[in-house]
A and B are shown apart, each in its own frame.
Chain A
Amino acid sequence: MNHSVLIRAVTIMLSLAAASAQAEPPADMRTLFPADAPACFAAVFDPAHPAQSVVALRLMRGYPQLRMEQEAAGPETPKEAPPDQARGVMAQLIVSFRGDGAKGSPARFAAAVNCTAEAGAAKMRCGIDCDGGGFFVEREAGGTLRMTLEDGRNLRIAGGCTNRRAYRGLGIEPGDRSFSLVATPMAACR
């Protein structure tokens, strides 16, 4: 198994195991991220905003995350029992930054995240693998999600735990620390 995949799997298993002792999270979390269906929350920004380097941000849970969550749960998981989201859900944070992608298009980076919530908590806390930082997610009036970076830290947006691929920091610009995300069909979340 690839080193980064192994580290990621161990990190996820440890965080799932640690969180398994926690009680049920708010039912809201299940609504946001069903166990066996994709979900996407997205925000699009003014590409010319002076205090933002982000032009698009997606918090999504697609087939790769659903598949990996089942793999992390182990082969003995009964067919009729999907992974228990009370212990945490896997998702992916995809961020497109203004500028230097192909042909001047935005440059896209992604990080694997694992989100957990304590009993009765209004927020989920999502952490990026290998201490890439964390952020909180909570539902706002009107159905949007508020994503807020933890105080004093930026997020390391990278694929995996190694430096094989380039990565970017999120949160450096003052306008890149809190985002309002809207539930978006997967077809529009590519």
Chain B
Amino acid sequence: MIKASDRSRAVIRKLAPVGLVALFMTTVAAAQTVDKTFPQNRPTCHARVYDAAHLAAHPKQRVEAISFERRAREIAAEKVFIASGEMTEEIIAATLRVRLRGDRRSHVVQLECEGARNGARYCEVPACPGGEIGLMPDGARAIRLSLGGKLRNGSFVAHYIHLNELCDGAQPAVLESGEDDHEFLLTLAPAEACK
């Protein structure tokens, strides 16, 4: 007669390989969050300040400075996504800061970015869905943020992102791709550059 404990051990022995596979899959999924651009558990700051010469050469560009930062707060949010049990290895959270030409204020907004094809992520302001900014690594030390993009027929389609969470409020702030705000190249920088 087989005792219940023996049956349990037999079941455990049978399930052990399954458990190992599950553990392996979990490890693989967790490992995927560690990429060169956004290492898991490590804050990152990518920033760009356009100098006077650049702005003079691009008079239609509205953005004067832009940064994309993952601080402890965002990394904690990423862990919540993972703990929720979803396959969220490609989700990252970040703070976007933008200073516009002729406006001394710094616009600050929280982003959530999800993976898509071709290595690109697309970020939105959760409180203001509809807007979107593209995020593409450019080597190990730089990222490209983009507003809108080209379709296969070559036509460019403009888009936008909200710069605060008051999208239906009295003072919405919106960055549109406009004539010269389609793409921004940001390089890895010390955290101070994202303040």
Contacts and interface: CB of A to CB of B under 8 A. Distances in A.
Interface string B149-190: 101111101111010111111101010100000000000000
Given A3-B86, A63-B132, A64-B122, A71 B117 contact: yes
Interface stretch (B3-11, B46-54, B87-95): B87-95
Nearest to A105: B169
Nearest to B84: A164
B153 A80 contact: yes
Which DSSP category, helix, strand, loop or mixed, fits chain B's interface? loop
Interface in A99-130: 101-110
B126 A165 contact: yes
Interface in B30-70: none
Interface in A20-67: 36-38, 55-56, 58, 60, 62-64, 66-67
Nearest to A68: B116
Given A4-B86, A71-B116, A82-B153, A106 B168 contact: yes
Which DSSP category, helix, strand, loop or mixed, fits chain A's interface? mixed
B127 A64 contact: no
A55 B116 CA distance: 32
Contact of B159 (A1, A62, A80, A103): A62
B153 A55 contact: no
Interface residues of B, number: 43
Interface centre among A96, A104, A164 (most CB of B within 10 A): A164
Nearest to A58: B130
A60 B130 contact: yes
Interface in A72-92: 77, 79-80, 82, 92
10 contacts: A1-B90, A2-B87, A4-B114, A63-B157, A63-B158, A66-B151, A79-B153, A96-B168, A108-B130, A164-B86
